Amino acid sequence: MRVEELKNYGKGLLNAVIDAEGLKRQRETSEKMRQELCRELGHEVYHELMSRVKLEVERMKSRDWSVLSQRGLRDGRFIEGVIRRIALMKAMADMVGMEKASEIQCRLLEKTMYESMSPMWPSVEDYYACGDFFVAFKKYTWVAMEQNQRAGLHVVEMVEDSPCVLAFNVKYCVWHEVAKAFGNPYLCYPSTCYGDEVTIPRVLGMAGPQYQFKRSGTLAQGASVCDFRYEVIPGI
């Protein structure tokens, strides 16, 4: 198998196609998230949270989002999805405090993020079917990030592409930009960025212990970039 034949090769988050089984799994994941939020907060607080999220979304939908269109992102449905994700985090932080809201949201991502996203991307076995796992994974990942950049989701710069390393920086991120508009750039870390730290190590771990993901910081946490570093550790 060639890398170019893998599912959704050459596509990013905006235009990846998901099949019927994947859509079913995503609906199941959304329901699991709802149940987990109810369990964490209680039904009464959950319903109040959803009311606040709705108000936040409506408030922010009417905002001038030319800052996003200038980057090339004009898909209103996608923008609304980003707004909704950040609105949930803001509303929860307003209700229970940022620390508790972050803990809850990170637990939710740990329980649901991989299951939600994995139907869109190749499996570990798919990468191995291309011959060398890391070669296939690197090529697929970088092409997807380039597509995200063309769609206006990110601005990325390559740092290193070598036999044992793929490293790049995200200098601009739409989720970070929306979080700033909500008044606190940190809002996108527990709602979105932390998902990288859940899903990527899981995928690499399934491929083998020699494959590792490292990150020193994110835009949401005040770093100058979100750094992504994928490594093959010799001798493991």
- With tokens 């998902």, the residue in question is 195
For residue 19, the SS3 value is coil
CA-wise closest residue to 212 among 229, 194, 225, 187: 229
**DSSP code string of 146-195:** HHHHHTTSEEEEEEEEETTEEEEEEEEEHHHHHHHHTT-GGGHIIIIIHH
Under 8 Å between Cβ of 135 and 127: no
Q: Which two tokens stand for residue 200?
A: 């990527």
212's enclosing H/E stretch is: strand 211-214
Which CATH fold topology does 15-232 show?
H-NOX domain (3.90.1520)
Spell out the per-residue pLDDT of the chain, length 236, in tens.
Answer: 899 999 999 999 999 988 888 888 888 888 999 999 999 999 999 999 999 999 999 999 889 999 999 999 999 999 999 999 999 999 999 999 999 999 999 999 999 988 888 889 999 999 999 999 999 999 999 999 999 999 999 999 999 999 999 999 999 999 999 999 999 999 999 999 999 999 999 999 999 999 999 999 999 999 999 999 999 998 77
| Residue ranges covered by each domain of the chain | 15-232
CA–CA distance, 127 with 123 (Å, rounded to integer): 7
